[in-house]
């Protein structure tokens, strides 16, 4: 293990906790994490490396319009890069290095979040405020190292009508099970796909059965669990594959105990789509079309197939759809 340690991150408790877990690691001290993070070093001889840094100029970015639930919602950034290797993921071209970068100044990040919440409440916004924590990394897989749940879940419990979502493809639950309470303001959402899709496109992630077992474990402990059927991929024979997949999940999961269901086909900004094709020379077999909002989506006929399929199979559930 190689650890790039930003000088100004050395004194933080999380830094010391992580270093104690990797006592045999080689440590290289750096002035700023971007001196490594912004270098094109995908073929670096140290493949197993992390970066510990202090996040400065912290910004809580608003989500795009029509992003999942209506109302005020923001992206929470505490880790950059994901250990998983999903072939369709925008992170493949978003960053120049694959090394997970962990921002260790959690309290500073939480202070900015609290300021955002208080500012909205003072402006008489009383609807639910959402924070999405896993758009830059799969936090749940890393959490035994980074202690995100131990720090952020109790933090969000301090607020009324605020929800944090942590989305994952991991079955690693230990940090959640180690909590001494059941959170009311944090929800764990699992991205699900057929096992054949996982095998072909979601490398290093937990299997479908492992994710289902994790879902059922959390439900049994009274955790709030969301299910995300995403991204729905138009592989050959997709309707039959996803029909069988839905039947299988309904046999294994009591959906009456699931807080919400969301489905989403694959989607890119036009810029991201062009970068993906250019950087990875990925020959898409799926037909994309550009929409007026500048997003590239699977052609409408296929997304309509997916909508109809899930609506038919979950007639009593309020299913949120990707905005088409």
Contact 120, 154 (CB under 8 A): no
Q: Look over the chain and give the mean of its residue pLDDT values, rounded to a whole number.
A: 90
pLDDT for the residue 44: 44
What is the arithmetic mean of pLDDT over 257-269? 88
Residue (of 209, 323, 223) closest to 263 by Cα position: 323
Contact 303, 267 (CB under 8 A): no
Task: Dump pLDDT digits (tens) for 211-234.
Answer: 999 999 999 999 999 999 999 999
C-alpha to C-alpha distances, 17 to 22, 23, 104, nearest whole angstrom: 9, 10, 10
pLDDT for the residue 282: 52
pLDDT for the residue 300: 86
pLDDT for the residue 324: 41
C-alpha to C-alpha distances, 136 to 21, 149, 200, 218, nearest whole angstrom: 23, 16, 22, 23
Residue (of 232, 227, 229, 230) closest to 304 by Cα position: 232
Given a cut of 70, is residue 47 above it in pLDDT?
no
Given a cut of 50, is residue 173 above it in pLDDT?
yes
Residue 258 binned pLDDT confidence (cut-offs 50, 70, 90): very high
User: Rounded to the nearest 10 degrees, how much is the dihedral formed by the CA atoms of 288, 205, 321, 254?
Assistant: 150
Contact 168, 190 (CB under 8 A): yes
Best-predicted range by mean pLDDT (131-135, 289-293, 299-303): 131-135
pLDDT for the residue 45: 45
Please give the domain boundaries of the chain with CATH numbers for all domains.
1-53 (no CATH), 55-321 (3.80.30.30)
Best-predicted range by mean pLDDT (16-25, 43-52, 59-68): 16-25
Residue (of 262, 260, 188, 249) closest to 221 by Cα position: 188
Contact 147, 17 (CB under 8 A): yes
pLDDT for the residue 89: 86
pLDDT for the residue 310: 94
pLDDT for the residue 281: 54
Task: Dump pLDDT digits (tens) for 246-255.
Answer: 999 999 999 9
Residue 240 binned pLDDT confidence (cut-offs 50, 70, 90): very high
Least reliable range by pLDDT among 107-111, 140-144, 256-260, 314-318: 314-318
Peptide bond into 18 cis (omega under 30): no
Task: Dump pLDDT digits (tens) for 191-209.
Answer: 999 999 999 999 999 999 9
The number of residues in the chain equals 324
Contact 62, 13 (CB under 8 A): no
Task: Dump pLDDT digits (tens) for 23-35.
Answer: 999 999 999 999 9
What share of the chain has pLDDT > 70, as a percent? 94
Four-residue CA torsion sign, 128, 133, 138, 142: negative
What is the arithmetic mean of pLDDT over 109-115? 98
Given a cut of 70, is residue 323 above it in pLDDT?
no
pLDDT for the residue 189: 96
Residue 97 binned pLDDT confidence (cut-offs 50, 70, 90): confident
């Amino acid at each position: 293990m190689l650890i790039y340690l930003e000088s100004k991150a050395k004194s933080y408790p999380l830094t010391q906790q992580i270093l104690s877990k990797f006592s045999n690691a080689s440590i290289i001290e750096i002035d700023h994490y971007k001196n490594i993070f912004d270098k094109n070093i995908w073929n670096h001889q140290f493949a197993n490396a992390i970066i510990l840094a202090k996040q400065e100029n912290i910004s809580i970015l608003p989500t795009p319009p029509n992003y999942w639930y209506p109302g005020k919602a923001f992206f929470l950034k505490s880790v950059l890069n994901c250990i998983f290797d999903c072939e369709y993921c925008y992170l493949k071209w978003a960053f120049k290095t694959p090394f997970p970068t962990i921002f260790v100044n959690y309290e500073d990040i939480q202070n900015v979040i609290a300021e955002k919440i208080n500012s909205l409440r003072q402006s008489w916004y009383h609807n639910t405020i959402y924070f999405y924590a896993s758009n830059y990394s799969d936090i749940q897989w890393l959490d035994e190292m980074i202690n995100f749940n131990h720090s952020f879940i109790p933090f969000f419990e301090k607020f009324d009508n605020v929800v944090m979502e942590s989305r994952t493809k991991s079955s690693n639950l230990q940090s959640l099970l180690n909590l001494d309470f059941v959170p009311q303001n944090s929800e764990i959402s699992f991205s699900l796909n057929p096992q054949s899709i996982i095998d072909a496109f979601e490398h290093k992630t937990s299997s479908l059965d492992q994710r289902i077992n994790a879902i059922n474990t959390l439900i049994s402990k009274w955790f709030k669990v969301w299910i995300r059927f995403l991204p729905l991929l138009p592989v050959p024979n997709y309707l039959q594959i996803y029909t069988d997949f839905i039947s299988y999940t309904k046999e294994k999961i009591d959906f009456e105990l699931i807080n919400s269901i969301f489905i989403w086909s694959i989607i890119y900004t036009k810029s991201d789509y062009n970068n993906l094709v250019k950087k990875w020379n990925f020959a898409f077999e799926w037909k994309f079309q550009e929409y007026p909002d500048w997003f590239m989506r699977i052609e409408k006929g296929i997304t309509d197939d997916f909508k109809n399929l899930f609506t038919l199979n979950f007639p009593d559930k309020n299913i949120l759809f990707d905005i088409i």
